[in-house]
Amino acid sequence: MSTANFNVHLPLGTPTVDQFLGIQPHPTKCQATYVWIDGTGENLRCKTRTLDKKPSQIEEYPLWNYDGSSTGQAVGQDSDRYLKAVAEFRDPFLGGQNTLVMCETYEHAMKPTATNHRAKCKEVMDRIASHKPFFGMEQEYLLLDRPYYCGVGANKVVGREIVETHYRACLAAGIEIAGTNAEVTPGQWEFQIGICEGIAMGDQLWMARFLLHRVAEQFGVIVSIDPKPHVTIGDWNGAGCHTNYSTATMRKDEGIKEIMAACEKLAKTHKEDMKLYDPNGGLDNLRRLTGRHETSSADKFTWGVANRGCSVRIPRQVDADGKGYLEDRRPSSNCDPYVVTASICRSTLLT
């Protein structure tokens, strides 16, 4: 056990955790951590149970329940809510046959809860599956020093360690993480998830967010995915979740025509779409999409080649190749990827 990295920025006893992780995983039993989106539509919860062995398919995970009254998903008496496992990942922390499972949440009679947007997203993705929709999402976030909760920008070195650890954890979990970069705002970083097809985009981005919170917790740092955190001192860029999208037609020769047609369709549904691009009916994005700091303005739809001030950007290379994908720059950093991907598909393929 090394304490070389132990400094004031690692107050949570990382060495102690390392010791515990030295205990060998059980040879056959599986620790399954069920992860779900709570009533805020933005925060994640989890709880862990022991299964006799690792299920060989997702359907074998038992339906589980939780107290919805403490997660903003139920009131009073009838507080039991159900967790249905829908996507399985390797647990990068516990290793062995232990797993992390993304879950959908249900009320009694198996009615999806108000923040279970995956159920509807799945319906859309199933309907348009033949178009083979591909997505890549760019998650921006801010690291905050815990000892200085209102301060900005967890120290650069710790920031880098969190980013590297998270990157590795995603790969170990089986998540398609495409890359990562520092942003212009101090303490702000980005990672990209994709290319993912259909419903997998939401499953993977949510689990990648879970891993980020989990890693940061161990470093004693807080992650904010608010699009314009009030703790940001000065006039800085907000945080978004650019959503790159293509269909099979867009990826074929002359796909640019289909990409431009999709832009025209997105223009028509702009107002409704904006209500879906953050978890608060469009209000969060009003703080961010000001028309400044490489953003478009929230009330007007624009698109163009290589223009980062547009709602939707066609990357320069895509224009040159005459095929590829488009980048919807409007989704907020705290958006629900199930809502956003379903909305894009509905607007471009089903209207």
| Residue 328 makes contact with Mn ion by CB under 5 A | no
Half-sphere exposure of 338 (CA within 13 A, CB side): 19
Q: What's the rounded Cα separation, in Å, for the pair 318 and 311?
A: 17
| Residue 244 makes contact with ligand ADP by CB under 6 A | yes
| Residue 228 makes contact with Mn ion by CB under 5 A | no
| Residue 134 makes contact with ligand ADP by CB under 6 A | yes
Q: What's the rounded Cα separation, in Å, for the pair 50 and 66?
A: 16
**Which one of the spans 150-158, 182-190, 251-259, 338-346 is the region binding Mn ion (CB under 5 A)?**
182-190
| Residue 139 makes contact with ligand ADP by CB under 6 A | no
Q: What's the rounded Cα separation, in Å, for the pair 183 and 176?
A: 21
Residues 6+ apart with CB under 8 A from 149: 222, 231
CB of 241 to Mn ion, least distance (A): 9
**Which one of the spans 51-59, 66-74, 217-225, 242-250 is the region binding ligand ADP (CB under 6 A)?**
242-250
Closest by CA to 102, choosing from 236, 208, 182, is 208
For Mn ion, the binding residue among 38, 42, 91, 190 (CB under 5 A) is 190
| Residue 66 makes contact with ligand ADP by CB under 6 A | no
286 binds, among ligand ADP, Mn ion, none (CB under 5 to 8 A by kind): none
CB of 74 to ligand ADP, least distance (A): 37
The dihedral region occupied by 219, where left means phi > 0, alpha psi between -120 and 50, and beta the remainder, is: alpha
CB of 324 to ligand ADP, least distance (A): 5
Handedness of CA 197, 143, 277, 312 (dihedral sign): negative
288 binds, among Mn ion, ligand ADP, none (CB under 5 to 8 A by kind): none
CB of 304 to Mn ion, least distance (A): 14
Structure tokens at 326: 């488009």
For ligand ADP, the binding residue among 61, 106, 210, 325 (CB under 6 A) is 325
Closest by CA to 208, choosing from 141, 302, 299, 256, is 141
Q: Which of residues 87-146 bind Mn ion (CB under 5 A)?
A: 138
Between CA 316 and CA 319, with CA 335 as vertex, the angle to 5 degrees is 10
| Residue 258 makes contact with ligand ADP by CB under 6 A | no
If the CB atoms of residues 135 and 303 are measured against ligand ADP, the closer one turns out to be 135
Structure tokens at 324: 């590829």
| Residue 251 makes contact with ligand ADP by CB under 6 A | yes
CB of 196 to ligand ADP, least distance (A): 8
If the CB atoms of residues 15 and 322 are measured against ligand ADP, the closer one turns out to be 322
Q: Is the bond preceding 37 in cis, omega lying within 30 degrees of 0? A: no
| Residue 168 makes contact with ligand ADP by CB under 6 A | no
**Which one of the spans 5-13, 129-137, 279-287, 338-346 is the region binding ligand ADP (CB under 6 A)?**
129-137
If the CB atoms of residues 190 and 203 are measured against Mn ion, the closer one turns out to be 190
**Residues, the chain, total?**
351
| Residue 327 makes contact with ligand ADP by CB under 6 A | yes
Residues 6+ apart with CB under 8 A from 201: 135, 137, 193, 194, 337, 341
Residue pair 192/178 in contact (Cβ under 8 Å)? The answer is yes
Residue pair 137/205 in contact (Cβ under 8 Å)? The answer is yes
Q: Which residue is nearest to ligand ADP (CB)?
A: 136
Neighbours of 23 (CB within 10 A): 8
**Which one of the spans 189-197, 213-221, 223-231, 274-282 is the region binding ligand ADP (CB under 6 A)?**
189-197
Positions that interact with Mn ion (CB under 5 A):
138, 190, 237, 242
Residue numbers at the binding site for ligand ADP (CB under 6 A) = 134-136, 138, 178, 192, 194-195, 242, 244-246, 251, 324-325, 327
